Structure 1
Amino acid sequence: MPRLTDARKELRRAQIAEAAVRCFGRNGLERTSIAEITAESGLSAGSIYAHYRNKADLVQAAARAVLAKRAAVLDEYAASDVPPDPDELLARLIAAIDPAEARVGVQTWGEATTNPAIRGIVVDMVDRMRAMLHDCVTAWLVKVEHHEPAEARERATPIAHRVLALYQAELLYAALRAATGETVS
């Protein structure tokens, strides 16, 4: 059998993680089986286990996949010549919420209260998201509001914290609306 290249391995891992996000979003973390993820991904169980040891690894991969999407958007905002102000940044993040991903996020937060491995993932993801938001707000303060970089970094801290809190509230709202089949508006 031909060996997979590193690039092909990463594509397979992403394919599996995306299937896991869809399954977790539909069925919940607890009720989703590896068999369902296998069927959703179109791969064999052996292929799943060649890339992930267990469901906890898949939860971690799913959380990271969701964050990676947000990271790409936030990096783009921070690097732009005219970064969005905090209100616009929040509006753009809210507009990009995928209801299935929101459900996975909220379920992962709940699981983090009792599962130390998941708690570590969630704390890491929230810290990374906060840091990315901080970078975006700092860039806006420097490039648009013309603050000195040191002052901008200091001022950005509470603003980024509030943006993150409001974003998390919107994720919860989207997850609850998705669970009832309502559309998010």
Structure 2
Amino acid sequence: MPRLTDARKDLRRAQIAEAAVRCFGRTGLERTSIADITAESGLSAGSIYAHYRNKADLVRAAARDVLARRADVLGEYAASEAPPDPDELLARLVAAIDPVEARVGVQTWGEATTDPEVHDIVVDMIDRMGAMLHDCVTAWLVKVEHQEPARARESAAPVARRVSALYQAELLHAALRSPAGTAAR
């Protein structure tokens, strides 16, 4: 059997993770089986297990993929000459919410209350998102508000926490207002 290149492995992993998110969004984390993900991805179960150990591994990969996309955007905002102020930052994040990803995120939060492995994933993702928001708000305070970096870093902490909390509330709102069973775009 021919070996997959690293690039091909990455594409296959992404294909599987995207199929898993669509399934999780439609039927929930608990009710989605590896067979569902296999059917959605068009791959064999062996292929799924060659890339992911179990469903928790897929949840982790999906969460990291979503966070990586947010990290790219937040990094661009922070690096720009005039980073957005906290209100604009929140507005941009909210505008980018995908309802299916929001449903999967909220389901993952629920699972985190009873599953220690999922709990660790959620806490890590929230902490990483918070750090990225903190960096973005700090950049805005330094570049636009002309605060000294050390003071800006300190001032940014409570603002970033509020932006994070409001973003999480918007994710919940998006998850609840989008109909269950809707397939990802």
What is the TM-score normalised by the length of structure 1?
0.96
* Residue equivalent to 1:16: 16
* Residue equivalent to 2:173: 173
SS in 1 for 2:84: coil
* Residue equivalent to 1:66: 66
1:39 Cα deviation after fit? 1.3
1:181 Cα deviation after fit? 8.1
Q: Measure, in 2, the Cα distance between the counterparts of 1:60 and 1:181.
A: 22
Q: Which runs of 4+ in 1 moved over 4 A?
A: none
* Residue equivalent to 1:134: 134
Contact preservation (8 Å) 1:18, 1:65: no
1:166 Cα deviation after fit? 0.1
The 5 A counterparts of 1:1-185 are 1-179=1-179
1:16 Cα deviation after fit? 0.7
Which stretches in structure 1 are left out of the alignment for 5+ residues?
A: none
The number of aligned residues is 182
Contact preservation (8 Å) 2:23, 2:32: yes
Per-residue CA distance 1:14-54 (angstroms, 9 max, x = gap): 11111111110111000111111111112111110000011
Contact preservation (8 Å) 1:77, 1:136: yes
Going from structure 1 to structure 2, the CA distance change for 1:6 and 1:108 (only over 3 Å counts) comes to same
CA RMSD of superposed structures (Å): 1.3
Which stretches in structure 2 are left out of the alignment for 5+ residues?
A: none
Contact preservation (8 Å) 1:106, 1:171: yes
What percent of counterpart residues are identical? 83
What is the TM-score normalised by the length of structure 2?
0.96
